[in-house]
Amino acid sequence: MKRNNNTMMQYFEWYLPNNCNLWQNLIKMAPQLKKMGINMLWLPPACKGAAGINDTGYGVYDLYDLGEFNQKGSVRTKYGTKDEYIAAIRALQLEDIQVLADIVLNHRMGADEMQDIIAYKINPSNRNEVLGDYRTISAWTKYNFEGRNNVYSDFKLDWSHFTSIDYDNIAKENGIFRFYGKHFSNEVDKELGNYDYLMGCDVDFNNLDTVDDLNSWGKWFLTQTNVDGFRLDAVKHIRSSFYKKWLAELKTTFNKDLYTVGEYFSVNIDSLLNYLDYNEQVDSLFDVPLHDHFKQASESNGQYDMSKIFEDTLVDRRPSKAVTFIDNHDTEPGQSLESWVKDWFRPLAYSMIMLREKGIPCIFYGDYYGIPAKNIPDMKDFLDTLLAVRKNMAYGEQRDYLDHHNIIGWTREGDYYHQDSGLAVILSDGEGGSKQMNVGKNLANCCLYDCTGNVREPVYVDKDGNGIFYVNGGSVSVWIKKDNMYNL
């Protein structure tokens, strides 16, 4: 059976303007995204955030307000109204694009009232250490959701539903203040001793009322939106057994697969593997170690050993569970996890995630459309080429030539279902050069062309499938059959 490659896109970046009309835009774009070969789309968080229309959605205030109630200064969110969100999801699903909703459950922000709470100050660089005696703090922890007026749920939040907060209004002091009688979960990342606390009011997943509410909310959200799956925010800061149960319950109740990718932002491959081993409900994680390798290579002036670029990455160690990416809304310049892969390396990196056999690549909105706020140019032409190659030609057996500190390559033999499919990729982080590679029998006796336009001369493949492929310095070349050039 003919099956095309899966390709994900993250359809937003941090600096979108607050009038970006993203949901409306998606309704128009859905057919185009399908043509591009995108079949999984990660949408930004749709819930009302503390900063209203200026909130990316990660400063979540009310999970039950998807742009429907006049709260935080407007009915709509940064991206539009609830009706537009649901219309966008339908439009995408009509094009057979799976929609992944971004779910932010770790924390809340923008409380309506302060409360006096007994709390301990915690050492921010070793969260297992309490600093000094308990004291009374005053903190923004009471959430009334008055603008919603009990529609969908009458559950309100107060300090008892959280573990900790980052500001005391009595002493006017920043820090991590953990509430009396509360503890951090042991089922979180061990960085900084215990990485339960990330930001805002940290949700207490040991509190049964909290968990009950989130279970009800999950069912409500799925009923309202009918999304196909989730991108789970900040999973390394959330008790891992929570999502294991939450996802299992939703899948059973709705009898749906609910494809799920988690954001476990760590370069430690063992942390990622442990999480996946424990929580079989999560289908995949973003391949942060690979992103980190791309960044290092892009900053090494050719000194990076390209034969090790995939070593101890998720796509290498657990290929069926890897969503590969170059950068995202958090790693953009100026953001909390800034670790931007330098521009010259980005075409090489995209070739390494889009044209190989393993992993689901995630194309970043900020690359496809550019990031005007940071003067980062778009890569639309290059990505359109790679998307077309991925959709039409990146099939069949892969032969790896990851055997040199500068120049590496691989070939795909092509398959029966995609006419004239198959390709050869060669790239270098240092000087230009060549490599003999075998493309298999389908492209034997063919003349191949570099569809990136970087190398102008064709390559002749002999009767055994061998060809000598060229690449310029700090560049990538993608070789395909000439007939296919007209389809790009």
Nearer to Ca ion, 19 or 126 (CB): 126
Nearer to Ca ion, 218 or 467 (CB): 218
From start to end of 346-438, where are the E strands?
360-364, 398-401, 407-412, 423-428, 433-438
Q: Which stretch binds Ca ion (CB under 5 A): 38-46, 122-130, 348-356, 397-405?
A: 397-405
Residue 237 as a binder of Ca ion (CB under 5 A): the answer is yes
Contact (CB, 8 A) for 426 and 306: no
Residue 429 as a binder of Ca ion (CB under 5 A): the answer is yes
Distance CA 428, CA 292 (A): 18
Query: At which residue do the structure tokens 């070349």 appear?
Result: 477
Nearer to Ca ion, 303 or 466 (CB): 303
189 belongs to the catalytic site: no
Residue 196 as a binder of Ca ion (CB under 5 A): the answer is yes
Which residues on neighbouring strands pair with residue 476, listed in sequence order?
Answer: 427
* Phi-psi category of residue 22: left, alpha or beta, with phi > 0 → left and psi -120 to 50 → alpha: alpha
Which residues on neighbouring strands pair with residue 473, listed in sequence order?
Answer: none
Nearer to Ca ion, 76 or 237 (CB): 237
Contact (CB, 8 A) for 414 and 393: yes
Residue 477 as a binder of Ca ion (CB under 5 A): the answer is no
Nearest-approach distance from CB 140 to Ca ion, in angstroms = 17
Q: Which of 406, 421, 475, 477 binds Ca ion (CB under 5 A)?
A: 406
Residue 213 as a binder of Ca ion (CB under 5 A): the answer is no
User: Strands across the sheet with 407-412, in order?
Assistant: 398-401, 407-412, 423-428, 475-481, 447-450, 459-460
Distance CA 359, CA 349 (A): 13
Nearer to Ca ion, 302 or 372 (CB): 302
Nearest-approach distance from CB 307 to Ca ion, in angstroms = 9
Residue 404 as a binder of Ca ion (CB under 5 A): the answer is no
Q: Which stretch binds Ca ion (CB under 5 A): 274-282, 299-307, 335-343, 449-457?
A: 299-307
Q: Which of 90, 142, 308, 405 binds Ca ion (CB under 5 A)?
A: 405
Contact (CB, 8 A) for 52 and 74: yes
Distance CA 53, CA 265 (A): 26
Catalytic residue among 68, 189, 263, 283: 263
68 belongs to the catalytic site: no
* Cα first-last separation, the chain: 23
Q: Which of 5, 56, 77, 106 binds Ca ion (CB under 5 A)?
A: 106
Nearest-approach distance from CB 485 to Ca ion, in angstroms = 30
Size of the site for Ca ion (CB under 5 A): 10
With H, G, I as helix, E, B as strand and everything else as coil, classify residue 87. Answer: helix
Helix (H) or strand (E) holding 169: none
DSSP H helices in 162-287? 208-225, 240-254, 269-278
Catalytic residue among 68, 102, 189, 233: 233
Q: Which stretch binds Ca ion (CB under 5 A): 38-46, 92-100, 130-138, 422-430?
A: 422-430
Contact (CB, 8 A) for 294 and 345: yes
Scanning residues 301 to 340, which ones bind Ca ion (CB under 5 A)? 302, 304
Q: Which of 430, 432, 433, 458 binds Ca ion (CB under 5 A)?
A: 430
Give the residues lining the site for Ca ion (CB under 5 A). 106, 196, 202, 237, 302, 304, 405-406, 429-430
Positions marked active-site: 233, 263
